Amino acid sequence: MKRRISLPVLTLLLVLLAGCTGAAPSRQDSASPSQPQSAAPAPTLLEPRASGTPSFDYYLLTLSWSPEYCHSHPSDIQCTEHSTFVLHGLWPENNDGTYPENCSNAPGPSNPSQYSDIYPDVSLLDHEWKTHGTCSGLAPDAFFQLARKTFQSITVPPELAGLTKQTSMPPAQILGLMIKANPSIAAPDMALSCGSNYLTAVEVCVDKQGHPMSCGKVKTCRANTVRIPAPQ
């Protein structure tokens, strides 16, 4: 004999069954139909940062040893000056060794020629602004004025400025000469770059006002000695 189901029990079962047929709303369905959600486009390196001022810890003032560069690029405009150290760039850096680049599409200075004393090659100035200056949080003129001020605050050691023939030195000795000529700079504030055992650059870590400060994780040359070509 089949067991008869009473009306109250049947009513309760129908209520419970109706509650189980409705699926719980997902997170993506929580918006009202009048305000549909859409996926935000992934930011690109060339988009302006929403924060306004990019985050970085200090600048790396990179001073290229011009005679080494000019040995393989004799027709470059900077090589007509027979310089020693020339300004390569003022680069935003982070203490952990990372660095921002290409932070916006903001245009560079309206009159690049006013910076020909530090960037005789306009294409290099344009590159430095797009790659590094846009990450400084500064207007173009303010950025290049800081670069000029910081570069001009560095004294080239006479032992290097007066070279008449190629010589060789340990990296520590070169940095020691820089400290001797620039008492405000300490050993932890600098690094040295080399390529094929030739001096390519000295890098000075500076704060956002251009004052020397201790570097973060900056690579430095590990050669026992490096060759230093003389200005021609």
pLDDT, tens digit, 9 for 90 and up, residues 107-152: 999 999 999 999 999 999 999 999 999 999 999 999 999 999 999 9
pTM for the structure as a whole: 0.76
Quick one: pLDDT at residue 6? 42
Determine, yes or no, domain membership for 51: no
Nearest 5°: the CA angle 56, 91, 41 is 60
Determine, yes or no, domain membership for 23: no
Q: What CATH number should be reported for the domain holding residue 204?
A: 3.90.730.10
Low-confidence ranges of the chain (pLDDT < 50): 1-51
82 part of the active site: no
Determine, yes or no, domain membership for 21: no
68, 93, 128, 203: the active-site residue: 128
- Total domains in the chain come to 1
> Could you give the C-alpha distances from 175 to 38, 63, 92, 94, 186, in angstroms and in order?
55, 12, 22, 22, 9
Determine, yes or no, domain membership for 10: no
DSSP type of residue 43 = P
Quick one: pLDDT at residue 35? 31
68, 93, 132, 203: the active-site residue: 132
Determine, yes or no, domain membership for 79: yes
- Structural domain including 120 reads 58-228
Quick one: pLDDT at residue 78? 80
Quick one: pLDDT at residue 79? 87
Coil/strand/helix, residue 134: helix
Determine, yes or no, domain membership for 6: no
Quick one: pLDDT at residue 62? 98
Determine, yes or no, domain membership for 31: no
Determine, yes or no, domain membership for 211: yes
Burial 93-107 (b: 16+ CB within 10 A, else e): beeeeeebeebeeee
Quick one: pLDDT at residue 14? 36
88 part of the active site: yes
68, 88, 93, 203: the active-site residue: 88
Q: What is the 3-state secondary structure (H, E, C) of 81-96?
A: CCCCEEEEEEEEECCC
Locate 27 and state its tokens.
Answer: 């997170």
